[in-house]
Amino acid sequence: MCLGVTGVVTAVADDGGVPMAEVDTGRAEPVSACLLTCPGVAVGDTVLLHSGYVLAVLDPQEVTS
C-alpha cells in the first residue's frame, strides 16, 4: 500500500547539488523532500510527497482533505 501526503512548498534550496524543498503538510514540523523527480517545483506549489520525494505538482483546487 502506498501512502502519499500533500503539502505546500515553503522553500526550495540546493543541498550539495541535490534540489530540496521544505513542505508544509499541516503537521508541527515542515517536511524536507527531494526534487529530483519533479525539478520544476516552486515556492507556493501544492505537491504530492512519498518516501521523501516530491512526485507531482497538484492543482490546489482539486486537493481535498
Residues of the chain with pLDDT below 50 are none
Phi-psi region of 51 (alpha: psi -120 to 50; beta: other; left: phi over 0): left
Give the pLDDT score at 7.
93
> Measured between alpha carbons, how far is 14 from 25 in angstroms, rounded to an integer?
21
Looking at domain 5-58, which CATH architecture does it have? Roll (2.30)
Q: What is the DSSP string of 9-23?
A: EEEEEEETTEEEEEE
Sign of CA pseudo-dihedral 4, 34, 22, 43:
negative
Give the pLDDT score at 15.
93
Q: Where are the domains of the chain?
A: 5-58
3-state secondary structure at position 41: coil
* pLDDT tens readout for residues 46-60: 999 999 999 999 987
